[in-house]
Structure 1
Amino acid sequence: MKRKLSLFLIIAVMTIFAAACGSTSGKKSNGSESKGDTLTIKHQLGETPVKKNPQKVVVFDMGTLDSLDKLGLSDTVAGVPQQNVPAYLEKYKDAKYKNVGGLKEPDFEAINEIQPDLIIISGRQQDSYDKFAEIAPTIFMGIDSKKYMDSFKQNVNTLGEIFGKEAQVKEELSTIDKEIASLKEKADASNAKALITLTSGGKVTAYGPASRFGLIHDEFGVKSAADDIEADPVHGQNISMEFINEKNPDILYVVDRDAAVGEGNNAKKVIENSLVKKTNAYKNGKIVYLDPGYWYLSGGGLESVAEMVKEAAKGLE
């Protein structure tokens, strides 16, 4: 009887202990692990312990800046590369936010002066990850073009966990999912085929599925007018006006890089020439000039993705 009682007490103590441990830590489905007031964020460049609700954040990824702004967290932003901030986020050029260099040339001295609680970077800064990490906890929040929405959702869910904004993130993502579902229905019902292009310095590049702008095909369901575009996810394929004429897209999406980097609005001058004017896209008024702030500078943000869905939908109206 004593043995049975002792065994029962041991099991009971172990059960209580296990329950107590489970209440203080737990793994999250999006690649993070929490323990008390600290999250361990697993990202492309490593694992980083991050304290919840950081007060001073340096943000190099414009999509993340977009999401922080949408979530009402502008007061946590301490520094940004101000020269590269898109027009709709221009308030972050104010002197209250410290300028921390360029997207490819960070000012590490300025960052160190801030003494940030957290630094958030993406693809253009990944080679300098170790330098950032010497200053403060640093996490990578880039977008994987081959699984755009998955990586976008993981990023914003991580922000939700860090700042205690899980409920708002869930609501925002639900709205975006509904808009995408509506766009997919229109795309499925349409025979229209689209070509995605970017203009820069008078030259034109094309992007297909699984590319930087390929979510138009992959996630939104718009059919592609060209299945033979070389799969360079970032830089696309250099093309001629003859290429556009030959593919004869029903919809022509255009991103103006010059406008994005402050070198003028040149896309229309480049695109609307005699060869392109022979395409269905031109004849039917379906050349859609996409906002370069959303598409080139800050893709992967809660606001930018919502607006990207709306802009892509214009081609099917």
Structure 2
Amino acid sequence: MKGNKLVISGLLLAVFNTAAYTAQFELKTDAKTIQLKQAPKNIAVYDLSVLDTLNALNIQAQIVPETTYQGHLAKYKNEKFIKAGTLFEPNLEKLKQAQPDLIFIGGRSAKNLDTLSQIAPTLNLSPDTTQYIPDLKQRTELLAQAFKREKIAKQKLNEVEKLQKSLKAKTQGKSAIMLFAVGDNFMPHAENDRFGFVYDLAGFKSVLPLTEKTTSTTRPEAGSPEALAQAKKNIDTLQKAIDQHPDYIIVLDRGAVNTQKYAAKDNILKHHVLSNAQAVKNKKVIFVNADAWYLTGAGLDNTIFMLNELSQAVQP
């Protein structure tokens, strides 16, 4: 009997241990559930929007990619944080040596899910900017619940809501065009393009039609007939949009990423279409922070930064 009691006690203990194991730390998305015995202490992050949100919730990563860290993320320049690879390609050897408990990926690093999952539990938290604020809220609350940071998450999300409401009060009835500048080329971004989320985020009316999407993800070779045709299409689209006299032009200068040198400020004044735009003449061109918009993206603190940036630039 005594032996049987020990077996039963052992089974009960195993059951309780299993219950405790699943209850300690859990991250659950539609695609995946991660359960850990305890809250992770050695976290690797390969997406700056995720890193920004974790940082906003006072959750510190220990392993990060080699990149430029500005603003809220400037502390990650410090050598105490292990740099293991880039935003695109994690250094697998360094990562294995660092022995992470949990890995976050997204956007540029999302393709590495299967490989990284062999090192440690890995979760893809790529932002969905077609539903910017609802998606930000969902990702924030997911992390806040898992790491017991509900209070600060609520405070930050309330701040986002108030800032957006205030910004939309300023932009009500105003139109805009979003431009992605590469050198002296200015590419218009419609609502369904990469940076087209700005219209819904800020409350601007877009002067661009929705872009026709293709299944191709490769860019035409520079100088090729396809590239020349695309360039002509961009100019035609840009001219039609500027002819509608948007109240504001918003510019994201790719060349200013990591450099903060905004050549687009001069290039726009020499551009044969944009130099004559009403918004240029009225000095209603907003050159957004390149690192914030291009590198960090849809993180919690970064969204607060972007909303403030736009709000300060929009005239009452």
Question: Which category describes the TM-score, using the shorter chain as reference length?
Answer: 0.7 to 0.9
Cα distance, 1:144 vs structure 2? 0.9
Q: What amino acid sits opposite 2:304 in the alignment?
A: A
Separation of aligned partners in 1, 2:201 and 2:85? 34
Cα distance, 1:285 vs structure 2? 1.1
Whether 2:157 is the aligned partner of 1:173: answer yes
Cα distance, 1:126 vs structure 2? 1.7
2:129 — aligned with what? 145
Separation of aligned partners in 2, 1:278 and 1:52? 60
Cα distance, 1:43 vs structure 2? 4.9
What is the aligned counterpart of 1:310 among 295, 308, 311? Answer: 308
Whether 2:94 is the aligned partner of 1:114: answer no
Separation of aligned partners in 2, 1:55 and 1:278? 55
1:220 — aligned with what? 202
Cα distance, 1:40 vs structure 2? 4.1
Q: Structure 1 residues 50 and 204 mapped into 2: Cα distance closer, same or farther (>3 Å)?
A: farther
Number of positions where the alignment pairs a residue of Structure 1 with one of Structure 2: 282
2:187 — aligned with what? 205
Separation of aligned partners in 2, 1:296 and 1:310? 17
Q: What amino acid sits opposite 2:54 in the alignment?
A: L
Separation of aligned partners in 1, 2:288 and 2:192? 18
Separation of aligned partners in 1, 2:267 and 2:72? 25
SS at match of 1:139: strand
Deviates more, 1:199-208 or 1:297-306: 199-208
Whether 2:117 is the aligned partner of 1:129: answer no
Separation of aligned partners in 1, 2:70 and 2:212? 29
Q: What amino acid sits opposite 1:151 in the alignment?
A: D
Cα distance, 1:275 vs structure 2? 3.2
1:282 — aligned with what? 280
SS at match of 1:255: strand
Cα distance, 1:121 vs structure 2? 0.4
Q: What amino acid sits opposite 1:60 in the alignment?
A: Y
1:259 — aligned with what? 256
Paired residues of 2:26 and 2:146 also in contact (CA < 8 A)? yes
2:66 — aligned with what? 82
Whether 2:243 is the aligned partner of 1:246: answer yes
Q: What amino acid sits opposite 1:296 in the alignment?
A: Y
What is the aligned counterpart of 1:56 among 20, 42, 50? Answer: 42
Separation of aligned partners in 1, 2:74 and 2:118? 29
RMSD: 2.8
What is the aligned counterpart of 1:105 among 81, 89, 107? Answer: 89
Whether 2:177 is the aligned partner of 1:195: answer yes
Separation of aligned partners in 2, 1:269 and 1:229? 28
Q: What amino acid sits opposite 2:158 in the alignment?
A: S
Q: What amino acid sits opposite 1:59 in the alignment?
A: V
Paired residues of 2:25 and 2:39 also in contact (CA < 8 A)? no
Q: Structure 1 residues 231 and 280 mapped into 2: Cα distance closer, same or farther (>3 Å)?
A: farther
TM-score normalised per structure 1? 0.80
Cα distance, 1:215 vs structure 2? 2.6
Q: Structure 1 residues 219 and 209 mapped into 2: Cα distance closer, same or farther (>3 Å)?
A: same
Q: Structure 1 residues 298 and 268 mapped into 2: Cα distance closer, same or farther (>3 Å)?
A: same
Separation of aligned partners in 2, 1:227 and 1:40? 39
Cα distance, 1:247 vs structure 2? 4.3
Aligned sequence identity (%):
28
Cα distance, 1:281 vs structure 2? 0.8
Separation of aligned partners in 2, 1:263 and 1:285? 20
Q: Structure 1 residues 119 and 163 mapped into 2: Cα distance closer, same or farther (>3 Å)?
A: same
SS at match of 2:292: helix
TM-score normalised per structure 2? 0.80
What is the aligned counterpart of 2:53 among 42, 67, 88? Answer: 67
Q: What amino acid sits opposite 1:275 in the alignment?
A: V
Cα distance, 1:68 vs structure 2? 2.1
Paired residues of 1:129 and 1:138 also in contact (CA < 8 A)? yes
Structure 2: give runs of 5+ residues left out of the alignment: 1-15, 220-229
Separation of aligned partners in 1, 2:261 and 2:84? 25
Cα distance, 1:231 vs structure 2? 5.1
Cα distance, 1:261 vs structure 2? 4.3
Q: What amino acid sits opposite 1:304 in the alignment?
A: N
SS at match of 1:36: helix
Structure 1: give runs of 5+ residues left out of the alignment: 1-20, 26-33
1:28 — aligned with what? none
Separation of aligned partners in 2, 1:133 and 1:141? 14
Q: What amino acid sits opposite 1:214 in the alignment?
A: G
Q: What amino acid sits opposite 2:23 in the alignment?
A: G
